[in-house]
Amino acid sequence: MTTNRERFLAILSGKSPDRIPWIPRIQLWYNARLAEGTMPERFKGLTMRQVEQALGLGNPARSGRVFRTRREGFDVVTHERGGEVLVEYVTPVGTVAEKRIRTSQLEGYTDSGLPKEHPIKSAADYPVWEYVVEHTYYDPCYEEYLAYDREVGDDGLPMVATGDVPFHHFCLHLCGYNQAFFELADHLPQVEHLLTVMEQCERERLWPVVADSPAVLIHHGSHFDSQMTPPPLFAKYIKPYYQDFSSLLHARGKKLAFHADDDSKLILDLVRESGFDMAECFATEPMVSVTLAEARKAWGNDVIIYGGIPSVVLEDTTSEEEFEAYVRNVFRTIAPGDAFILGIADNAMPRTKIERVQRITQLVEELGSYPIRAV
């Protein structure tokens, strides 16, 4: 095998590639260079994909979609003022609103701005959001995926984002982490009723569209963390959902990934038991407490690790010597190289020294051929 697509597919099927794929995300670095007008001379005028190719990188291919979301029976009204975006969900049973900060200073540093207010602020907001959920539908757009798949070609394999498990979506997006735990204490019946409505709608409307799609690698779930989704809550609200969803996908020959850019030290076993096939953008120390070695020991070849390079080692805060030693140790840790794709957790950040990304390309050529030796 000689292409990143062939390597990716081999790893998904439990086989060994000829060498470790090196497919990091550089989107935040690239966007920041454009926003600041500081693009290196050799990359000026190039698309992000052209920059990736110049650096010897595969294509993360995260822009494919297999459905479009359709809302009926309520209005979504957006207001922009003074660097803030207010989105109102106006339904027959009430209105809820969320607010995000989007300023020129944030351009290039965040994909969607910073949250300031979340939709659920009181017990009265639960039935309103249930109405939103019950009137949201997912329409297949498989041709879009197939066109994107052809565009990606041999450079990679599309990983299709399909949302999040209801419990974590509630915590992160509907309430915010801080308020979510108060809601669990103060309004548990309302929380659990909402979660039931969300899960039923996803099982009936979203899951079949995803399962029938031509996509192979399904991304569903993000930022599970030992503190924010601790083992007791993960086991109760998250694991059963994914056990059913992963079983459905596996029966259709598909693989399930989650975005693992958080500290998963205490939930490694639960991730495996949930049926995940891949931890994508897997974060490790020194960014978080979990180490690559701990994850390899807990998961073996059951869960593919896609990561290995914490973004902080690509910045000036890490010396050249420390950077070189860290990357070389990654290869020793993953030897012989099964169930592993080399990437950055989560992104090449705006202050990344892009020369280090290119240096990793050289080290992949030097050390990344299978089987990797633990030397």
Is the CB of residue 23 less than 8 Å from the CB of residue 343?
yes
- What 3-state class would DSSP assign to 319? coil
Phi, psi of 331 (to 5 degrees): -65, -40
What is the C-alpha to C-alpha distance for residues 183 and 249, in angstroms, rounded to an integer?
32
Distances from the Cα of 367 to the Cα of 18, 89, 136, 142, 337, angstroms: 12, 53, 49, 39, 11
pLDDT of residue 307: 97
Residues 219, 329, 274, CA angle at the centre, nearest 5°?
A: 30
| CA–centroid distance for 34 within its chain | 23
Bridge partner residues of 95 (DSSP): 90
**Where are any strands of DSSP class E within 7-102?**
67-71, 75-81, 84-91, 94-101
pLDDT of residue 90: 98
CA torsion sign for 257, 262, 263, 267 is: negative
Predicted confidence (pLDDT) per residue in 302-339, tens digit: 999 999 999 999 999 999 999 999 999 999 999 999 99
* DSSP single-letter state for residue 347: -
CA torsion sign for 145, 222, 198, 245 is: positive
pLDDT of residue 103: 59
Is the CB of residue 122 less than 8 Å from the CB of residue 181?
no
pLDDT of residue 107: 56
What is the C-alpha to C-alpha distance for residues 216 and 211, in angstroms, rounded to an integer?
9
Class of domain 4-68+139-367: alpha beta
Residues of the chain with CATH 3.20.20.210: 4-68+139-367
Is the CB of residue 360 less than 8 Å from the CB of residue 7?
no
Is the CB of residue 77 less than 8 Å from the CB of residue 87?
yes
pLDDT of residue 375: 63
Beta-carbon count within 10 A of 52 CB: 23
Give alpha helix (H) positions in the chain. Answer: 4-12, 27-36, 48-54, 126-134, 142-152, 166-169, 177-186, 188-201, 207-211, 231-233, 239-251, 268-273, 292-299, 320-334, 354-367
pLDDT of residue 112: 64
What is the C-alpha to C-alpha distance for residues 99 and 76, in angstroms, rounded to an integer?
13
Segments of the chain with pLDDT less than 50:
none
pLDDT of residue 110: 57
pTM: 0.94
The two beta strands, 217-222 and 255-259, are parallel
329 contact partners, CB below 8 Å, separation of at least 6 = none
Which run of H or E residues covers position 375? none
Is the CB of residue 217 less than 8 Å from the CB of residue 257?
yes
